[in-house]
């Protein structure tokens, strides 16, 4: 049983890596063809695609009445994206190159993260009315980002000659493969943890959150290898926004309201806020390098270890 699960994890991970690479390759082609800002592609195309596993995990958890996994996945995925994925992203970079026009994007992220923190710290129930406010904020954010001027660097790139519909189909196909490979990865990983008698909320914060963050990890590594740093940054930012909006809205529209945050510890809640502040500071000060990278990854490993103590 244990060997079968390990084989399943390895096989699904291999497919996951391939699908991420294929998605990024075609997303870059879309950006070049239509001269779209790299960070916008990272936030709204790659991030949504790599967040599909989080959405799937939330949907499945709600079907099985596993509220602890829903709450743990939401918070755990955001923490993993910043500490683990962000740490990996910063390792080969000496200094971040963030345009002044993109700083407002990260300010929105920080403000909304603080707002969401107050919802979870006071265990406030999120209902349909509040969900509609979330949707409105997301539309405003999307419109505002789309209206920003195009980067000069993008206008000088080589334009891809493939038809737009073909590129779109390739991206959709890669996201579907990513979705199913991530789903099976989570299933195999969850089976292993259950064999060792791990608590449900801990599974949500660690195994499910880490498993559903794997697409972000792989997408970030591939983006860095392809020297598309802004895609990686946009992926982290967009994934966290997609997690908050997506997981919350799925839970609300399936259950009419969500109030699972009491299942989280105060450490989980405060770490969510602290990592959001940390990410904003790193971006604003354009910090990077191996020391910061290792520090972030060690913080994540320490938190991961603490949950299993």
- At 126-151, the pLDDT tens digits run 778 888 888 888 888 878 777 776 65
So what's the pLDDT on residue 198?
65
Domain that holds residue 84: 2-307
How far is it, in rounded angstroms, from Cα 40 to Cα 231? 8
> What is the rounded distance in angstroms from the CA atom of residue 112 to the CA atom of residue 130?
13
Q: What's 115's domain CATH number?
A: 1.20.1420.30
Outline where 122-257 has alpha helix (H).
Answer: 128-146, 152-155, 164-195, 200-203, 209-225, 229-242, 248-255
Is the CB of residue 138 less than 8 Å from the CB of residue 44? no
State the average pLDDT for the chain: 78
How many residues in total does the chain contain? 309
How many domains is the chain partitioned into structurally? 1
Question: Looking at residues 68-74, what average pLDDT do you find?
Answer: 75
Smallest Cα–Cα separation from 268: which of 193, 212, 187, 209? 209
Banded model confidence at residue 294, pLDDT cuts 50, 70, 90: very high
Residue 64 confidence (pLDDT) above 80: no
pLDDT over 70 percentage in the chain: 85
Tokens of 242: 């997609």
The per-residue b/e assignment along 216-234, b for 16 or more CB within 10 angstroms, e otherwise, is bbbbbbbbbeeebbbbbbb
């Amino acid at each position: 049983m244990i060997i079968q699960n390990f084989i399943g994890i390895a096989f699904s991970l291999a497919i996951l890596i391939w699908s991420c690479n294929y998605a990024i390759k075609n997303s870059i082609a879309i950006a070049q063809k239509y001269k779209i800002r790299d960070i916008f592609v990272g936030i709204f195309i790659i991030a949504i695609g790599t967040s599909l596993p989080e959405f799937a995990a939330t949907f499945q958890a709600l079907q099985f009445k596993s509220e602890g996994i829903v709450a743990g996945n939401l918070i755990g995925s955001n923490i993993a994206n910043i500490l683990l994925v962000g740490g990996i992203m910063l390792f080969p970079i000496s200094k971040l190159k963030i345009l002044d026009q993109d700083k407002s994007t990260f300010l929105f992220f920080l403000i909304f993260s603080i707002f969401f923190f107050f919802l979870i710290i006071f265990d406030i129930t999120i209902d349909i009315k509040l969900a509609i406010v979330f949707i409105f904020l997301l539309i405003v954010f999307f419109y505002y980002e789309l209206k920003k001027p195009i980067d000069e660097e993008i206008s000088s790139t080589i334009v891809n000659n493939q038809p737009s519909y073909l590129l779109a189909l390739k991206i959709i196909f890669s996201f579907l493969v990513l979705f199913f490979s991530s789903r099976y990865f989570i299933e195999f990983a969850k089976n292993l943890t259950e064999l060792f008698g791990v608590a449900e909320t801990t599974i949500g914060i660690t195994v499910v959150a880490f498993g559903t963050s794997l697409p972000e990890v792989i997408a970030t590594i591939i983006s860095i290898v392809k020297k598309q740093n802004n895609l990686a940054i946009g992926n982290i930012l967009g994934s966290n926004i997609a997690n908050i909006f997506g997981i919350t809205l799925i839970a609300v529209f399936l259950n009419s309201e969500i109030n699972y945050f009491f299942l989280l510890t105060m450490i989980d809640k405060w770490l969510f806020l602290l990592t959001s502040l940390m990410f904003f500071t790193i971006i604003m000060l354009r910090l990077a390098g191996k020391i910061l990278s290792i520090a972030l990854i060690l913080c994540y490993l320490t938190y991961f270890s603490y949950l299993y103590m």
